[in-house]
Structure 1
């Protein structure tokens, strides 16, 4: 009797759906904004409270917010740094050559 076995491995790849990727991006954005407020990089002072719209044609009011953000300053300064110099020189060397000799040549 002959025994037949399948020795190959089967790999199942699970792909994420579009909704999962969008959810991950939204959560990452919320975490970044939360960190900016928690570290003091952003601060917000609410100067007027918001109101829900009345049951009329007039819409509601958004709260007035005074948002202060830190300033990022980018510039340059002079500093001494060791920089390696590469120099080339000419020398005469014997190098191997490869050629093809025709039957009629000497």
Structure 2
């Protein structure tokens, strides 16, 4: 924010930057920081070790793909876990009854 004073002592002109300028400065600073991190080797994009899978296709058939992937193992194991115990008991109590009485009998 800049403050310009004219020869008249009562007039002050304030010049403000727009929000777009501030955002542009932040984006440029972020790009410079990311560039420095890649240049120094702190961050690296390691894409040299990958390879495409072997695919063989004949007309009218689904492609056969040979892919080496990780094996997912699913199972159970024994563990002691605290579980809340809920108990119930049976009591005999009076409950309201709703019905229709037929006086014609």
Alignment TM-score, normalising by the size of structure 1: 0.34
Which one has the largest radius of gyration?
A: 2
Larger RCO (CA under 8 A, 6+ residues apart)? 1
Alignment TM-score, normalising by the size of structure 2: 0.34
